[in-house]
Structure 1
Amino acid sequence: MQSTVWKYFLVLLALTSCIDPVNINLKPEPDQLVVEGLITNESTQAPIKVAYTQPYTQQVGVIPKPLQNATIYVEDQNNNRFNYYENAPGNYIPESFTGVVGNTYTLTIITEGKKVYQSKPEKMVPTNPVDGVSAELRARPKVDSQGDEIIEYSFQTFVNTSDPAEEKNYYMWRWIGTYEVHTQPQDHTRDVQGTPVPDPLPCCAVCWVTEGHHNISVRNDALINGNKIIKQPIALLPILPENFSFRYHLRVKQYSLTEPAYNFWRILTSQVTGVGSVQDPPPASVHGNIFNVDDEKEVVLGYFGASAVSTDAFFIDRGEVPFAIPRFIYADDCRVLKNSTATKPDFW
């Protein structure tokens, strides 16, 4: 991974330099297996996603190639087996089961070509309940596209919890935000020889949009062992016409981690959130816990984890925004918005 990042950096340098370009011969690298998997003590388990990275090409945004027709299962320390079934290319969903705190789980992947991959055993350690989530208004100056200074408003959200004493604890937080959005499908138009012609749509004007599924933060208890974790930052939510015209629902999930899982997510998140200046240290190689049973030198990306989960949620009401929010104008079916649905969530 580290060599790939530096090769990419050198290509960008060659393209943007003012001196004569240098021809760089990049050796083709083998596709690498990427695994995303997590089991929890919740009744509904997330899918395990498996794909191959794609080799360097001149194209941008190449989609990973899914691993299809694999045999995938999880076993606990008592050899109880939980099978996963492919419901979409590279996406494997489990039979109904609930992870148990204190149990140890191992993932096995067998490809169509009989390659066998396994994870190192992961123990599901407990986590304390979430002691509440909150939000505070933030304001900061910003220069807009016209060069004018404006004030950008947002809500900084936090989570509280208690840390058990006399043991090492590692945490991960994920959040899911949901908001109601209104559009104007009745004002939809279509282009006819360069002229917009009225083309009202029969549906839909009201949707609910979700965001934040893949945003995470991690922390250990090295500085607060046995004390409360107060106001752990979770998400910074910009106040925009589309997301705060009504109210915003935030759900925070707190996950227990083993020390190896914490180290993996800490390194990964630091790379994702880095500013990317030339003074930054070179990206570290992110070692996961999955390996080829017959060839441990093969690099496999990703991590299979087991986490206990506690959760809390709250609404940020429109009335908590101390200024007028412009009306959101979008003359189309609201279902075309990313991650939207016209079905009202149960908690709304």
Structure 2
Amino acid sequence: MLIKNSRIYFWILLAFTSCIDPVEMHLEPQPEQLVVEGLLTNEAVQAPIKLSYTQRYTKEIGNVARKARYATVYVTDQNNTRYNYYENEPGNYIPESFTGTIGNTYTLHIITEDKKEYLSAPEKMLPTSPVDGLSAELRSRQVINPAGIEVTEYAFQTFVNTSDPADEKNFYMWRWIGTYEVHTQPQDHTRDVQGTPVPDPLPCCAICWVTEGHQNISVRNDALVNGNKIIKQPIAYLPVLPENFNFKYHLQVKQYSLSESAFNFWRILTSQVTGVGSVQDPPPASIPGNIRNINDENETVMGYFGASAVSTNTLFINRTEFPFAISRYIYADDCRTLKNSTATKPDFW
């Protein structure tokens, strides 16, 4: 009887599945949209203006966004002084010689290869307070590893302190860059020969320095602390792993002043990027930028051009700051093949 019922269920299931027709999605072609990423600062080395286009909807997966090449890019201040940028690599534009000045107002101008003209709203470079200090606290929590075993995971939660000026609205953004030394084993490298690993030692390199965190940001305003100190603003959560804490870890934090419109842009962007995807999450919102096509007000331009003063502070987290052993990092290859790595020791190391 069990076998007979199983066969009945099988044929019923087959009948249902065989009636399902594939649905063809007919999406209207979407025009490419210009994407602008640019932040002008008072630092000696200026960040680039990056230009690209959004991808079209296609059946293909893995398309890379097209860079906006051969554009004319320049910035003007309130006195109409012009500062030219040039393309040093596809879609990446850097100034010839230019450092922003606190108190000045800057506007971005873009003329694309197909002669479309874009203009940003003026952005005033506001001062920012000094970073009073950085700190790191070792945290632990119980997690289930891939083997299904409960283990203790350690990480450093890092913080920044700063002082907020009184009697004015202030908006802050923080970015961090972490650097650590990593040792690998290129002498143990092998190559596959018909399914068999054969020794293939490499001449270089066993010691590298890896950077991370370039795009990680956090923002806040001074609504709850106006005129007081901002204490222990969370910045980076750094898991303790064999590759990054076998020696020491260098953390650099940059603090930026933002206009209110820039703050709103980054606040919405970070909230969408860090969403966990639950039903309680807010729905995706339109992120208003500050760049427009001067001849077509209906064209949507993505991104934001900002101007900001910068203050910086650094912190070394040493291997001696946690009382337990860390496994040796095993990577039988040239350490330069690791993402964002270099065999050149940083000046601050």
TM-score range, shorter chain: over 0.9
Query: How do residues 158-307 of structure 1 correspond to structure 2 at under 5 angstroms?
Result: 158-307=159-308
Distance 1:26 1:321 in 2: 54
**Can you list the C-alpha shifts for 1:248-269, whole angstroms capped at 9, x where unaligned?**
0000000000000000000000
- Residues 44 and 96, structure 1, Cα contact 8 Å, conserved in 2: no
Distance 2:237 2:285 in 1: 27
Q: Name the aligned partner's letter for residue 282 of structure 2.
A: P
Q: Residue 269 of structure 2: SS of its match in structure 1?
A: helix
Matched, 1:150 2:151: yes
Q: Name the aligned partner's letter for residue 284 of structure 2.
A: P
Matched, 1:120 2:118: no
Q: Name the aligned partner's letter for residue 27 of structure 2.
A: L
Q: Residue 264 of structure 2: SS of its match in structure 1?
A: helix
Distance 1:206 1:42 in 2: 30
1:14 aligned residue = none
* Aligned-residue offset at 1:181: 0.2
1:107 aligned residue = 108
**Can you list the C-alpha shifts for 1:121-154, whole angstroms capped at 9, x where unaligned?**
0000000000000100011111111211111110
* Aligned-residue offset at 1:193: 1.1
Q: Name the aligned partner's letter for residue 39 of structure 1.
A: L
Question: In percent, how many aligned pairs have the same letter?
Answer: 76
- Residues 176 and 211, structure 1, Cα contact 8 Å, conserved in 2: yes
**Can you list the C-alpha shifts for 1:216-268, whole angstroms capped at 9, x where unaligned?**
00000001000000000000000000000000000000000000000000000
1:8 aligned residue = none
Q: Name the aligned partner's letter for residue 35 of structure 2.
A: V
* Aligned-residue offset at 1:21: 5.7
Query: How do residues 4-19 of structure 1 correspond to structure 2 at under 5 angstroms?
Result: none
**Can you list the C-alpha shifts for 1:42-91, whole angstroms capped at 9, x where unaligned?**
01101110000111122333211001100000010011111110011111
Where in structure 1 are there 5+ consecutive unaligned residues?
1-18
1:88 aligned residue = 89
Q: Residue 66 of structure 1: SS of its match in structure 2?
A: coil
Distance 1:170 1:314 in 2: 24
Distance 2:211 2:297 in 1: 39
- Residues 43 and 96, structure 1, Cα contact 8 Å, conserved in 2: no
Distance 2:61 2:41 in 1: 35
Q: Name the aligned partner's letter for residue 315 of structure 1.
A: F
RMSD in angstroms over aligned alpha carbons? 1.1
**Can you list the C-alpha shifts for 1:140-186, whole angstroms capped at 9, x where unaligned?**
11111121111111000000000000000000000000000000011
Distance 2:189 2:25 in 1: 49
Distance 1:29 1:346 in 2: 47
TM-score (norm 2): 0.93
Q: Name the aligned partner's letter for residue 194 of structure 2.
A: Q
* Aligned-residue offset at 1:22: 4.5
Relative to structure 1, is the Cα distance of residues 143 and 21 closer, same or farther in structure 2, using a 3 angstrom cutoff? Answer: farther
* Aligned-residue offset at 1:197: 0.8
Distance 1:212 1:314 in 2: 15
Q: Name the aligned partner's letter for residue 343 of structure 1.
A: T
Distance 1:168 1:62 in 2: 42
Q: Residue 108 of structure 1: SS of its match in structure 2?
A: strand
TM-score (norm 1): 0.93
Distance 1:172 1:62 in 2: 31
Number of aligned residue pairs: give it: 330
* Aligned-residue offset at 1:113: 1.4
Distance 2:246 2:320 in 1: 10
1:25 aligned residue = 26
**Can you list the C-alpha shifts for 1:288-339, whole angstroms capped at 9, x where unaligned?**
0000000111000000000000000010000112210000010000000000
